[in-house]
Each structure stands twice: as C-alpha cells, then as structure tokens.
Structure 1
Amino acid sequence: MPGMSRRSFLNLSTAVAAGAVATPLLTACGSAANKKTEAASSKVKLPTYVPFDKVKPDLAPNAQGLSAGFLTYPKTLVQSVSKKPGDGSKVTVLTEMWTAPPKPKGSNAYWDTLSKEMGIELNAILGSDPGYPDKFSATIAANDLPDLMWIPPNQGIQHVAQLLEAKCADLTELLSGDAVKAYPNLANMQPAHWKTAVVNGKIWGAPSPYPAFGQVYGGNPRIWEKAGGLSAASPEEFLSKCKEVTGAKTWALEPIYVNAVSVLSQCYGAPNKWLQNKDGSLTFWMETDEYAEALSFAIKLKKAGVFYPGDPEMADAYIKMAQGTIGACVYPNPKAVRTDTRTNDPELAGQVLIPFSAGGSAPKHARHLGTIGYTAIKKSSPERVKMLLEVLNYIAAPYGTKEQEFLKFGVEGEDFTYDGNGYPKYTKTGKSEVEGLYSGLSTATVAPASLSASDFQGSAQAQDVRDIYAVEQKLIPMIALNPTIGHYSDANTEHYPKMSTDANDLVNDIVAGRKNFSEWKSFWSDWKPKGLDQMRHEYEKAIATDA
C-alpha cells in the first residue's frame, strides 16, 4: 500500500510484520463453545472474476498476476458506481494507515466531502505501523465493534476464526460465485485475492489486493554499471560482481541479512513458505536444504565484506542506495524498486535482479499472499450488511474511474492539481487531509494493483511502466505458490510470530558471525514440538478437506 513502512513489507516474506506481537482478541472471542481449535477452510465457491472493462490498459494484465499497465493517465474518467452506496447512517471503519495521519474529522474538509459522496457519516479508527495488533485488540475488547474491521493475516492477531464466527457477518451467500456481480468493483478481484478472506469454509470480507510479486533485489544502475549490470547466472558470478562494486565508500548490499537470505533462497529453489510433498505432507520453507544453502551463501557474502557495515535493521538503506553508498536493497516487489528509486532521485531507474539458478535447482519467485488482509463486516441486519458491502465496493473503484481519483486525490483545485503530463498531484491541503485517510481506506480494500505512469517520478514514466511490466513477465514463469493460502491454522496465529522472530534473529546472528551455522538445523528440531508441527498438521488437514 502507498507509504507502507519498508520494514513491515519486507518482513512479510520471512516473518510477520515487524513489531507485531501475538495479540489475543480478549473478550471478543466468544464462549468456549464457539472455539474451533482446528479452524480449517473447507470447500467454498470463490467469487466469480469479472474484470473491469470500462477502462482499457495499454498493457494487458493476466490471471497469473501480471499487472495492467497504463502509459498515460486516462483523459476521460469513467463512473464505476451508479449511486451513493450509503443510507445516511454512521459507518465506522477500523483500519491501518501507512503514512502521516490526516487532519481529524471536524477540521478536515475532504473528510466531510467524502462522507457526502458516499452517503454515510464516515468515522475511521486509524491504526499505525507498528502497533496495529494492539489497536485492533483494544478496539475489539471495548465490545463496541466498528462496522468494518480490517484483518491482516500476518501481524499475529490470534483467534480470528472465533471472532469472525461470533461477531461478524458471513458474506458467502452475498459474494460466492456469480452473487459478487452485484458488487462489480469487488468482482474485479481475482480468485487469489479472495483466498485469504476464506475461513471455516466461509467468505468473511472484501480483500485488500496487493501485487502478485514478492521480494526482489533492486539496485542502483550507476553502481552496477562497471560490473555489467545487476544480473548474474550463478552464485559465483553474483559474488564476483558484489566484490567488484564494493570499495571506497560503496558496498554492494544492504545489511538486512534475513531479507538477503529470503531473496537468495529463491535462486536455490526454496518453496514459497510451505512445500507440499507428494504424500500431502508439508515442509516449512526455512527447514529446507534450499534455504540452508542460501543461508550458507549469505555467510560467504558477509565474509567477502560486500554487506554495508551498518545497522542490520537500518531504516535509511534506500536513501543510501540512491546516494551511491549501497548497491542493492531488498524491496517488497519489482514496482517498488522503480517507484522508490525515482522518489529518492528522479533520474535514477532502479534495476531488478531476476533470480538466477543456484544449487542445481530452477529458480523460483515467491508469489505474494495476494492481499495484505481483508475487511470483515460486523453482524447486522441483512439490509445493513448489503449497504456496507456497497461502501466497500465504492472504495474498491478501479484505476481510471472518477471514484478512484476522488478517493485518492480529493477535489481538484483544493486537494490536487494536474501536472504538465496530466497526472494528479497533491496540493499542501491534499497532503494533510486526503493522503492519510486514503491510506487507511485503501488498506481496508482497494482495486487490484496496476502499473501507472503517474506512479513514477522523473521524465521517463511511461518507460518505467514498460520496464517493470517486462520484469513481471520474466518472473511469471518462476512463480511459486504457497499451498496454505486459503486455509486457516489457529496454531499459525498463535506460534508463528514468536517462531519467525526467533528464526530471523538467528539468521542475523549466523550471518554476522555471532552464532554458528550448525545451530540452524537444531533450531528447527527444537521448534517442531513447540508449534511448528501443530501448524503443519492443521494446514495439512485443511488442505486435505478441500481435496
């Protein structure tokens, strides 16, 4: 999402979001009778995918996750919602924002205008990063549930299945199959976007789509030019290039070792979070030999002195890369490589490292979850639930629509103006009133991601779209899917945050030389009885139920 903190998104591939804790839902979980210790997703017909066709992209998307590409901003915006979605009532949404908070309701003209456009009195409880799990639990514990609640799958929030069953509306009948066509902007979401919102065989919310592509190394082309660019055909060539560009006041790689191992493990063919074996059993990706090989290679990189000798959790690595101190950093997806480098230096076109083959295995690219969560609806009358779905349908307006421009940028002349290329740009008022509120609303739900020239700064915006689209095309054949997506494990929400934090800490310690590589295998043996095997068995059971 726009403005999401770097650390949060990077750690989604190897752990829960940074700073997240395993936070129980306190008194809102319902009675013991409501608890399901092995909440598993059974068969459910996902919503029918009906692509939005009123705005035609220059570069076509596909069902595998390739993004739509827009080389210019649409000259004529279309309407995606025929009438105001609301019924004049107050609607409260609990969500997370990834930028500075907006001016509060009452002193924010855009907030008032948005409420009028949507036909509701909009209230927003805006959590921040880190700290959203605590905000979520405190809100639920107050026993005055908001109408709309954003639920992330990876921030350690526990007992989600119980909360959904006890307090939230089952949306399956309203959204499953062709029923979703009543909400066209929600029907514009692909099956992969919906799977996270399925728990106990029911659809519980509107997804928050995110690009299909996951972590990649992105680099400063000025630094890698003397080595022939940020590309390699083998670990040996990559190490050689890293050595070549390291020197004086430049280092090849940022020092966030756990993210380095995550990206490099794709080269060794490591699975995407879980490997489903031929007998149906599951192996966690960090247990695999492929991950261990990537960890061993990261140790070689460290000994070669190619990592920047700074804080392994450094927050300014992207800035240092733009300045020429660091050659490459890990980014949450290919698009972020180019948008971020352009932000820090409009003339810097960040390069993306395509996974190379290592260890005799074909390289893989770990597909993202497909969403960063979903927004559930509080149990209400059937009429109110449908109205709230209309509100979410409005918020999910696609690129090129009047609703999407208004949601993201506000009112022309007050909140934004068009630049020389016809792209909307915030005014000072828009930055303070619109940006933060849109950040929260677009976390609740949003249209599927696209590549738009307006997303990039500098003088080569259309070329940026073409370049990242080309990178996505190269990654599509390497896509590795996570077999547990669309399945639920209580043990995962209970144990994963602690396990992943401990694992990440050990990776950092091993690469830094504070602990021995030999401790890696024993770590996983120790974790099997502490929660790993329970996660594994619950996911295996859930997958078998769907078979």
Structure 2
Amino acid sequence: MNWNAKHTKKTAAAMSAALLAGALAGCSSGAKPEATKAPAAGGKDEPYKFSIMMKSFQNDAITSESKIWKKVEEYTNTKLEVQFTPDAAYNDKLNITLASGSMPSVLFVVNTKLPAIANAIKGGAFWEIGPYLKDYPNLKQMNPTILNNISVNGKYYGLYTARPLGRFAVSYRKDWLQNVGLSEPKTIDDFYNMLKAFKEKDPDKNGKDDTYGMVVTKYAGPWDIMQTWFGAPNKWGVDKDGKLVPAQLTPEYMDALKFFKKLYDEKLVNQDFAVYDSAKWNDPIINNQAGVAVDVVDRSYQIDEKIKAGNLKGEMDVFGAVSGPKGLFTPATTGYGGVFLISKSSVKTEAELRKVLNFFDKTSDKDMQIMLNYGLEGTHYKVEDGKLVTILTPDMPQAPDINVKSFNQMAIGVPNVLDTAFKAGTPLRAKANEVKAANEKIIVPNPGEPLVSATYTQKGAQLDQQVEDARVKFIVGKLDEAGFKAEMELWKKNGGESYIKEMNDAYAESKKK
C-alpha cells in the first residue's frame, strides 16, 4: 500500500485545510471575532501592557534598557514585561506557573499535547484564536498543516514559532562523489551505490582502505527519514479502511529495515552507530572517514564551513531525498519549535486579545523579524554585497542599550522572510534553502500529530523505546523478521494496542469537526 501518496499526505492535508477553513470562517464554538480589525500600532490608544514568559539561551538576555526593546514597543504600541527563563529550568518554571494559577498574559510551551498544558486548555485557561487569524495580514499566512499539528480537538489555541516543514536532507562529500565517478543519486539504488563506492573505491585517494559510506549516531533520525523513501508512513499512516496504523506495523517499514541491515552487514555505516555520540556526528566526514550524513539540511553547510575554516581538503553538497518504489518522499517536521498561548485570566477581554494578536502580527513584519533575529544594522551586523555579515555574535558581550540576546525567542517567523532577506552567504547555503523549499512538495505529514492518547501520555517513552530497540536489534542481526514481529506483538500487549485504539478514536472524532 502506498501510505504516503494515497493516504497520509491527502488525509492530513485535507483535514488540516478543513480545520483552517472552519476556524477562519469563525465556525468555532468560542467567542466570535469582531468585524473590525485591531487598532493600528501607533494610534491614539495608550500602549497596551502585557507580560510574556519565554525561554532564554543566554544568561545576559535583553532588558527594557535596550534600544531594540524600545523600538519593538514603539512599533507595536505596547509596554512589555518579559519573564525570561533559562532553557534548562523552563519546564520546572512552567509547571510551577500552571499550578499557581497566576499566569502571564502569554505563555510559551514546547507542545500543546503536554498533559499539564492539555488539561489547562481543556479547562478553558487559554483563548481559542482560530477565528481571529484571518484579520491579521501576517497571522493569516499561518500554514494549515502546522496549525493542524498544534491543534487541540480541532481548534487552535496558540501561535506557533515556525520551523521549515521540509528540513531533512542528505549531506555528502561532493569531492568524494566526483573521485569515484558517480553523479548525485536519484534513486535508493543510486544511494546504495554511492555508499558502496565511498567504502570500496578509495574516495579520498589516499591509497588506504579506511573509509565507509554513512555516519549514523544513536539519534534515530536518519532511519526515520530514510524509511519514508520506501513508502513507510511518517509515524502514522492511514490504511484502506481509513484507520490509523503505526509506521512500524507496515510492510514498507520492514522493507526499509532490510535495507538498513544490508548497509550494516556490508559495513557501509559505522558499526557502533547505536552508541555513537551525536555531538561527534560531523567528525568522521571532516576527518575523511565517512562521506554521508542524513539529517537536517543545515548540516551540509555547517560541515562545509568547518572544512574550509580548518584549511582542509573537501567539499560538501546536499539533496533532499531519493525516489523509492512508490515515489519521492521525505517526512515533514512538525513545523514548529513551540507555541505561544494567551491566558484568559490575564487577557480578560476580546479587545485585549486583539492587542496581543496585533503585537505578534506587527513583530512578524519584515523589518521587525530582521531586528529580533539579527539586531541593529551597523551594530550587530552589516550588509556587504547583499549578504549579512555578523559583527556581534550571541556569545559576545553586548552593552545593555544594544542587547538583543534571546529576543529572537519572541519571533514566530510567519511569514518566513529571513531566508530571502539577504543573499545567502555561500552557494551551498543558497542550495540548502532551495532544497527546503523543494522538499515541501514531497513532504509526508503525520496525521497523528494533533491527536492525544492517554496511554501514550503515560507510557509513550517506554513504547517508543521498545520499537527503537527492536529496530536496532534487527539492523545488527540480533532479531530476524519473525523476531521483530514478535516484539511488535509484545509492544501491543504493553500498551500499544490501547494506544492505537485511542489514536483512532481521536482521529475519527477529529474528522467530524
């Protein structure tokens, strides 16, 4: 069965489009939006004062002394109170805040499906914002697939921080491919032949048998990406009866597993992949040991720039995916890094809600996005030949009046203007942007992303680990096909069966909305 082309993409796209259409039409059971738009920033209204709790990734985050902070307030006609919390301590602070009942106006959460967040939404703690999005020029451009991914019972309760949907790719040593006389792979067979040549044909031309094809780490992402090439679903697929089926129970998943085992058996991947530290992922490629990494598209130019910075020989390139027996596919990301929820206890009226939404809409204007992310031109960066050149990086000291650190955590990035605001710094960075854009035409969404299962909330980590352990054991030869299927039967008994039922119940309910 072609889970990707026939079911997963069409079903998820149709469901998310229907949800968005319903929300933008104001058909929700929540408060109806007013006919008039929010007052324009800079009008006669007094600045609206509200608070935001969000993450920081530097100890010396921006304060209200900064010119940038003041410019944002002036542009949006607001008075901000930002509660920065270090990333490592954020979950604890979030739980304390939720338990206290005293919430800021806007609260950043990583996922709306977290039990405490889902319960708070169910209890009416946050505004449903779906009916209002159409009234704002930037917010109305939010992606239906991503909105579906953050939805709760078919409704939208937050503004997502955008991430590319088609971010996965194959990064490879371009010079190695040229040395072995091959062209960029187009099919799974081509991909296999590239890995085999990288092991057997002395791609670095040093006369030694000291290379292999692809470096894989204990992070399971590469397997998840490559299995969609075979037509396997992105976590969940939809069968011919319209029922959700977990990827690991599909025949396409087993086809992919057999391919992975072949790569392992022929030593085309590192034999210690199951324990290899992902922090060292780039090292074998930089050090002329391996030629391929399957991960996010950014890895291609990150490795390339490290090779050049070290005055080493080598050149990287990148492509999105290769065609399998059922077409060309790559898994979609969730499309977001987190969600901003708007508290009903602090933002009490619809008029106030509109002022908060207006703030996020205005900070999504092009100049605001650039300033939130890069700072002030001439101070934090300069533009040379249309390219952005950094002057002050986040690890450098910044005086209070020019501090921009962690302010980018406020940017939702809708629409995405940063990829095209400046010329790409290198040809490979430009190609990486092209790959991300092209990938959006072949992405396989996860139709189970917006759904909540009580069993998974309680046992999700154990269930996922059991599947991952079985996959690794199959690849390294400790399980055969019958053994893997037996493990999946045990997975069902350990909670998987309840998980599947709950997901299907939620899926059926979502289609009624």
The equivalent residue for 2:205 is none
Residues 191, 322 of structure 2: 8 Å contact kept: no
What's the offset of the Cα at 1:362? 3.2
The equivalent residue for 1:76 is none
Residues 386, 423 of structure 2: 8 Å contact kept: no
Residues 414, 429 of structure 1: 8 Å contact kept: no
The equivalent residue for 1:231 is 185
Task: Give the distance between the partners of 2:69 and 2:474, measured in 1 at CA.
Answer: 49
The equivalent residue for 1:216 is 169
- The amino acid across from 2:216 in the alignment is P
The equivalent residue for 2:406 is 437
Give 1:158-177 correspondences, 5 Å limit: 158-166=115-123, 168-172=125-129, 175-176=130-131
Task: Give the distance between the partners of 2:106 and 2:294, measured in 1 at CA.
Answer: 33
Instruction: Describe the shift of the 1:203–1:240 C-alpha distance in structure 2 as closer, same or farther (beyond 3 A).
Output: closer
Task: Give the distance between the partners of 1:106 and 1:471, measured in 2 at CA.
Answer: 36
Q: Deviations over 1:287-339 (max 9, x none)?
A: 2221122122212211212223554233121354244332111223x4x2444
Residues 58, 405 of structure 2: 8 Å contact kept: yes
- The amino acid across from 1:93 in the alignment is M
Deviating more after overlay: 111-120 vs 143-152 = 111-120
Residues 196, 485 of structure 1: 8 Å contact kept: yes
The question of 1:362 aligning with 2:327 is answered yes
Task: Give the distance between the partners of 1:448 and 1:440, measured in 2 at CA.
Answer: 16
What's the offset of the Cα at 1:431? 5.2
The equivalent residue for 1:287 is 249
The equivalent residue for 2:217 is 256
What's the offset of the Cα at 1:492? 3.7
The question of 1:146 aligning with 2:107 is answered no
Residues 167, 436 of structure 2: 8 Å contact kept: no
Residues 510, 517 of structure 1: 8 Å contact kept: yes
User: Of residues 66, 77, 80 in structure 2, which corresponds to 1:121?
Assistant: 80
The equivalent residue for 1:274 is 236
Task: Give the distance between the partners of 1:430 and 1:403, measured in 2 at CA.
Answer: 22
The equivalent residue for 1:190 is 143
- The amino acid across from 2:381 in the alignment is F
Task: Give the distance between the partners of 1:322 and 1:105, measured in 2 at CA.
Answer: 40
Residues 211, 448 of structure 1: 8 Å contact kept: no
What's the offset of the Cα at 1:265? 0.8
The equivalent residue for 2:133 is 180
Number of residue pairs aligned between Structure 1 and Structure 2: 453
What's the offset of the Cα at 1:269? 0.7
What's the offset of the Cα at 1:249? 4.0
Task: Give the distance between the partners of 1:265 and 1:423, measured in 2 at CA.
Answer: 37
Task: Give the distance between the partners of 1:428 and 1:264, measured in 2 at CA.
Answer: 35
Task: Give the distance between the partners of 1:245 and 1:477, measured in 2 at CA.
Answer: 30
The question of 1:381 aligning with 2:341 is answered no
Residues 264, 271 of structure 2: 8 Å contact kept: no
> Over aligned residues, Cα RMSD in angstroms?
3.5
What's the offset of the Cα at 1:419? 3.1
TM-score, structure 2 as length reference? 0.76
What's the offset of the Cα at 1:465? 3.0
What's the offset of the Cα at 1:186? 0.7
The equivalent residue for 2:360 is 392
What's the offset of the Cα at 1:429? 7.2
Instruction: Describe the shift of the 1:338–1:254 C-alpha distance in structure 2 as closer, same or farther (beyond 3 A).
Output: closer
Residues 281, 540 of structure 1: 8 Å contact kept: yes
Residues 273, 285 of structure 1: 8 Å contact kept: yes
- The amino acid across from 1:395 in the alignment is T
User: Of residues 370, 384, 402 in structure 2, which corresponds to 1:405?
Assistant: 370
Aligned to 2:446, the other structure's residue is in SS state: coil
User: Of residues 446, 451, 463 in structure 2, which corresponds to 1:499?
Assistant: 463
TM-score, structure 1 as length reference? 0.72
The equivalent residue for 2:425 is 457
Residues 352, 471 of structure 1: 8 Å contact kept: no
What's the offset of the Cα at 1:121? 2.6
The equivalent residue for 2:487 is 523
Task: Give the distance between the partners of 2:191 and 2:463, measured in 1 at CA.
Answer: 31
Instruction: Describe the shift of the 1:184–1:363 C-alpha distance in structure 2 as closer, same or farther (beyond 3 A).
Output: closer
Task: Give the distance between the partners of 2:153 and 2:46, measured in 1 at CA.
Answer: 30
Task: Give the distance between the partners of 2:104 and 2:287, measured in 1 at CA.
Answer: 45
What's the offset of the Cα at 1:114? 4.5
Task: Give the distance between the partners of 2:383 and 2:59, measured in 1 at CA.
Answer: 24
User: Of residues 474, 484, 491 in structure 1, which corresponds to 2:448?
Assistant: 484
Aligned to 1:141, the other structure's residue is in SS state: helix
Instruction: Describe the shift of the 1:238–1:402 C-alpha distance in structure 2 as closer, same or farther (beyond 3 A).
Output: closer
Task: Give the distance between the partners of 1:453 and 1:391, measured in 2 at CA.
Answer: 21
Task: Give the distance between the partners of 1:256 and 1:234, measured in 2 at CA.
Answer: 21
Task: Give the distance between the partners of 2:353 and 2:240, measured in 1 at CA.
Answer: 42
Instruction: Describe the shift of the 1:390–1:477 C-alpha distance in structure 2 as closer, same or farther (beyond 3 A).
Output: closer
The equivalent residue for 2:336 is 371
Task: Give the distance between the partners of 1:531 and 1:82, measured in 2 at CA.
Answer: 52
Residues 251, 307 of structure 1: 8 Å contact kept: yes
- The amino acid across from 1:375 in the alignment is F
Task: Give the distance between the partners of 1:421 and 1:481, measured in 2 at CA.
Answer: 35
Task: Give the distance between the partners of 1:378 and 1:105, measured in 2 at CA.
Answer: 23
User: Of residues 196, 207, 228 in structure 2, which corresponds to 1:243?
Assistant: 196
Task: Give the distance between the partners of 2:241 and 2:450, measured in 1 at CA.
Answer: 20
Please list every run of 5 or more consecutive structure 2 residues that lacks an aligned counterpart in the other structure: 1-17, 26-39, 203-208, 309-313
Instruction: Describe the shift of the 1:86–1:341 C-alpha distance in structure 2 as closer, same or farther (beyond 3 A).
Output: farther
What's the offset of the Cα at 1:200? 2.6
Instruction: Describe the shift of the 1:518–1:223 C-alpha distance in structure 2 as closer, same or farther (beyond 3 A).
Output: farther
- The amino acid across from 1:416 in the alignment is Y
Q: Deviations over 1:114-144 (max 9, x none)?
A: 4555532331333426x75445324423443
The question of 1:541 aligning with 2:505 is answered yes
Task: Give the distance between the partners of 2:321 and 2:455, measured in 1 at CA.
Answer: 34
The equivalent residue for 2:32 is none
Task: Give the distance between the partners of 1:115 and 1:501, measured in 2 at CA.
Answer: 46
Identical counterparts, % of pairs: 16
What's the offset of the Cα at 1:489? 3.5
Instruction: Describe the shift of the 1:232–1:303 C-alpha distance in structure 2 as closer, same or farther (beyond 3 A).
Output: farther
Residues 251, 306 of structure 1: 8 Å contact kept: yes
Q: Deviations over 1:356-415 (max 9, x none)?
A: 32xx43343222223333211111311332222222223333xxx221121112223333
Task: Give the distance between the partners of 2:322 and 2:453, measured in 1 at CA.
Answer: 31
